[in-house]
Amino acid sequence: MTIVLVFIFATLICFSREKRLLQVMLFLLALFFAFRSDMVPDAYAYRMYYYERDFASLEKGYFAFSGFFYKYLGLSFETFLFLVSIVVLEIWLWATKQISNANDVRYQFPLMLSFMGFYYYGIVLRSSIAITICYGFFPLLLYSKKIYRFGLYLLGVLLAMQFHQTAILFAFVPLFLFRINNKFLHIVNLLSFLLLLTNEIIPIQTYMNEAVERLGFFRFNSYLEQDMETERANIMAFYFLAISVLSVLFKNKLSYRNEKERYTYDFFVNLTVFGTLINSLVWQIPAMSRLSMQWLFFMSYVIYMFLFRNNIKFIQEYKIGLSLMFCAIQLFALLHYYPLIMNYLPF
């Protein structure tokens, strides 16, 4: 399968010590995403959005953005996709370098790419733009001492919402900047586990529908449709829970380079734990679980820290192999959770 070969190629390049190869990989991935087959989920729909431009229900910001490339620059849909892909990938790279050790970004990239990267950057165009905008503001939110950073961050969220309304979820991110007691995080993980054992969530779904209608966000109703094939979503939910539990269990056992790294890890653990809770609540509604996955998009940092900052001798000795194993698990999970992504074809 093409997606497997591309992933293997990307992983081998990113695990090399030649930094320039990562830039080469970003360029090749942008080409890969740009020339996706119309059989890939959402590809044909976005092509119609780009050329026909009569879908009034979508966000005005996205239409104005894509309209600039089509109406004023006269670019093809493939060229538009390529430019968007390379920009969001470069923003991810820049923000990740600001947040973590720049030399270790090459390890984080395949961990991100093997699941969330392919899922968002390879399929969900508007959400990927929105997430990347918010992520680009994370370094400011995390490390600036200025009080106005919260206002600037919320302006970034507002901008992201012009591409996808669900970015409103990121408005709550500043609430998780602070260290949360591990006992409380364990309780949240336990609650997530209990929710996963609950097979009937239709009343929760009904309450969500009513709340959405009262707030007037009628487009969100499409996110509340229940998929009959819920076992795939449930398997992914248990995987997210496993990562969430590990992230808390090893929180005080990792070797942090400095307090900045400890603070950053705490923040991403908070997002992972509460993103997992949201996902456990709505796992039977795959389109709705996409909302919780926006916070879980950053789970690759937690996995990276678990593998590369762990004091356990076995993990230290085999961290590269274990990292590759995680990448393989995540790629298998992606193909299992979203089998239509296998429609990617050579170009």
pLDDT tens digits, one per residue of 123-159: 888 999 999 999 999 999 999 989 899 999 999 999 9
Residue 216 lies in a domain: yes
Which domain range does residue 274 map to?
178-311
279/196 Cα distance (integer angstroms): 9
Residue of higher predicted confidence among 299 and 333: 299
* pLDDT for the residue 265: 95
**Tokens representing residue 166 in the block:** 């669900």
17/182 Cα distance (integer angstroms): 36
What's the mean per-residue pLDDT of the chain? Answer: 83
Residue 171 lies in a domain: no
Query: Averaging pLDDT over each range in 109-113, 140-144, 278-282, 289-293, which range is the top one?
Result: 140-144
> How would you write the chain as a 3-class SS string?
CHHHHHHHHHHHHHCCCCHHHHHHHHHHHHHHHHCCCCCCCCHHHHHHHHHCCCCCCCCHHHHHHHHHHHHHCCCCHHHHHHHHHHHHHHHHHHHHHHHCCHHHHHHHHHHHHHHHHHHHHCCCHHHHHHHHHHHHCHHHHHHCCCCCHHHHHHHHHHHHHCCCHHHHHHHHHHHHCCCCCHHHHHHHHHHHHHHHCCCCCHHHHHHHHHHHHHHCCHHHHHHHCCCCCCHHHHHHHHHHHHHHHHHHHCCCCECCCCHHHHHHHHHHHHHHHHHHHHHHHHCCCHHHHHHHHHHHCCHHHHHHHHHHCECCHHHHHCHHHHHHHHHHHHHHHHHHHCHHHHHCCCC
Residue 200 lies in a domain: yes
Dihedral sign from CA coordinates of 163, 92, 280, 271:
negative
Residue 244 lies in a domain: yes
Q: Which candidate, 331, 294, 324, 293, places its Cα nearest to that of 308?
A: 324
Going by pLDDT thresholds of 50, 70 and 90, the confidence category of residue 233 is low
pLDDT tens digits, one per residue of 54-102: 665 678 888 888 888 888 888 999 999 999 999 999 999 999 999 987 7
Q: Indicate if the pLDDT at residue 203 is higher than 60.
A: no
- Contact in structure between 265 and 291 (CB atoms under 8 Å): no
**Tokens representing residue 191 in the block:** 């609650």
* pLDDT for the residue 346: 45
* pLDDT for the residue 232: 62
Dihedral sign from CA coordinates of 239, 196, 294, 342:
positive
Q: Which candidate, 153, 180, 135, places its Cα nearest to that of 270?
A: 180
Please state the rounded mean pLDDT for residues 30-43: 84
Please state the rounded mean pLDDT for residues 103-132: 88
CA distances from 197 to 122, 160, 272 (A): 31, 34, 19
In percent, the amount of the chain with pLDDT more than 70 equals 80
In percent, the amount of the chain with pLDDT more than 90 equals 37
Q: Indicate if the pLDDT at residue 285 is higher than 60.
A: yes
Going by pLDDT thresholds of 50, 70 and 90, the confidence category of residue 10 is low
Q: Indicate if the pLDDT at residue 18 is higher than 90.
A: no
Going by pLDDT thresholds of 50, 70 and 90, the confidence category of residue 347 is very low
Residue 50 lies in a domain: no
Look at the chain and report how many structural domains it folds into. Answer: 1
Q: Residue 268: CB partners within 8 Å, gap ≥ 6?
A: 247, 298, 299, 301, 302, 305
Residue of higher predicted confidence among 21 and 78: 78
Q: How many residues does the chain have?
A: 347
pLDDT tens digits, one per residue of 155-193: 999 999 999 888 999 999 999 999 999 999 999 999 999
- Contact in structure between 63 and 52 (CB atoms under 8 Å): no
Residue 294 lies in a domain: yes
Q: Indicate if the pLDDT at residue 316 is higher than 50.
A: yes
Residue 273 lies in a domain: yes
Going by pLDDT thresholds of 50, 70 and 90, the confidence category of residue 228 is very low
Residue 72 lies in a domain: no
* pLDDT for the residue 245: 96
Please state the rounded mean pLDDT for residues 258-283: 91
